[in-house]
Amino acid sequence: MDRVAVYMLKEKYKRHRGHTLSYLFETKMAPDFPRYDRIWRMEIPENTVLREWVASDLEPWIKDHGQNTIVGLILIVDHTGISKCWYLDREGLVLLPSFYRQETDLLGIGTKGFHIPKKPGTYQARDSLIIDGIVYYLMESERFGSASQMYIVNGEGRFMGLQTSNGFSDPLIEQIRKKKEQYDEEKDILNVMAKGFSSLAKQKGSKKAAKDYPGTKTPGREITGKRASVKIRLNEKRSLLGT
């Protein structure tokens, strides 16, 4: 089963609802994920013709909920973890590759002047695809254009160590998923190491405090020797002063 999520402009942008895509770009309201609310989500059979589903299921549902038109709605269709975005325009469905972005994403379709580590020149985003909820971009050399290989970068600007001349092919998607798994494993290892260093630093900090300040003690250890005698003398002085 494929999953379809339907998005509509939020209430505070309602005056822009029901307009064409060209109108939104003209008014500097180009579709951007944070401006939209998800209003419906459902599963549909695989290989469903999207236009037919819109006419037979979505349009009646929208009218039943008080909307006069489906123009301006956005669909995110997920098929086995690969998602594509579509804008419902007056002329039909328009592919919208730049809609779905995370708050931490630095890139978008149209990004130019991007530098990739250890790669010469600058790059621009030519295409994007959502894979398992993460946006990936094909970055094309601004100097050589389509005559050169394109590099794969995620929305946060991280180079995935992959390149292609065939777009988002099935083998490339599989490679991207494997790279993502490797990065997740590395991230988990680094998190464990970071927690270990943090715990060690706290232990060293408490020991240093006990050494520098005789009136303190490390948890689980009794104050003995010279530091203990200092503490005893301090307590005797306090008792004489009545404090």
For the stretch 59-106, pLDDT in tens is: 999 989 888 899 999 998 888 777 888 999 998 999 887 676 655 566
Asked whether the beta carbons of 73 and 6 are under 8 A apart, the reply is yes
pLDDT tens-place string over residues 165-206: 888 888 898 999 898 888 888 878 877 777 777 776 666 666
| Domains of the chain by residue range | 2-95, 101-201, 213-243
Asked whether the beta carbons of 48 and 77 are under 8 A apart, the reply is no
Segments of 103-221 assigned E as strands:
123-131, 134-141, 150-154, 159-164
Instruction: List the alpha helices (DSSP H) in 120-162.
Output: none
pLDDT tens-place string over residues 107-159: 777 788 989 988 989 999 888 888 887 888 889 999 998 888 999 998 888 89
Instruction: Return the pLDDT at 220.
Output: 47
pTM of the model: 0.56
